Amino acid sequence: MSGAARARAETMESHPLTYPVGPRDGDAAPIDRVVALFSGAASAGPAAEAEADDWSASLTAVRGVAARVRGLQASARESVREAQHSVRAAETARRAAEDRARHAESLLRAALERAEQAEAQARAAAERAERAEAERTEARGWLRRMHECMVNEFGALSEAADQP
C-alpha cells in the first residue's frame, strides 16, 4: 500500500466524518453543527441553545474535515505524480517506437535498393545470355557453311587424289 493510500486509510478510520453516526439523544450531528455554524443558521436560534451546544464536537468535526481534505490533497498529489510518471513513460515508449519505425524504414529502403540492383543485374545477365545464344547460333551457322564449303571444294580434290 503506498504512503498516500495508507495515510488516507488512517485518516478515514480516525475521524468522525468518515463513518458519520446519526444524531445522539436529539442533538444534531457534528457535521450539521459545522454547517449551521458557517451558514449562520446557528445564530438564528435562541441564545440559550448556543450555550448548550457542544462546541468541542464541532471543533472535532472541523478537524476531521480538515484532516480528510489534507488526505484528499495528498491523494491528489500522488495521483498527479503517477499521471506524470505515466506520461513520461508513454513519451519514452513513443520515442522508442518512432526510432524503431525510422530504423525499419531505412532497412526497407536498403532492401528495396538491393532488390532493384538484383533486378538490374538479372536483366543484364539475361541480355548477356541472349547475346551469347545469338553468337553461338551465328557461330554454328558459320561453321556449317564452312563445312559445306570445304566439303564442296576439297571433296572433289580428295576424290581425284584417291583415283590412280
Q: What is the pLDDT of residues 95-150, one digit of tens each?
A: 999 999 999 999 999 999 999 999 999 999 999 999 999 999 999 999 999 999 88
pLDDT for the residue 160: 65
Banded pLDDT at 152 (limits 50, 70, 90): confident
- Determine the average pLDDT of the residues in 9-28: 49
The total number of structural domains in the chain stands at 1
Q: How far is CA 139 from CA 6, 75, 82, 135, in A?
A: 97, 94, 84, 6
Is residue 24 scored above 90 in pLDDT? no
Q: Taking the complete model, does pTM exceed 0.85, yes or no? A: no
Q: CA torsion sign, 119 to 124 to 130 to 133?
A: negative
**Secondary structure class of 26 (helix, strand, coil):** coil
pLDDT for the residue 19: 43
**Nearby residues of 41 by Cβ (< 8 Å), 6 or more positions away:** 35
pLDDT for the residue 43: 54
Calculate the dihedral angle through the C-alpha atoms of 132, 136, 142, 147, rounding to the nearest 10 degrees. Answer: 160
Structural domain of 19: 3-162
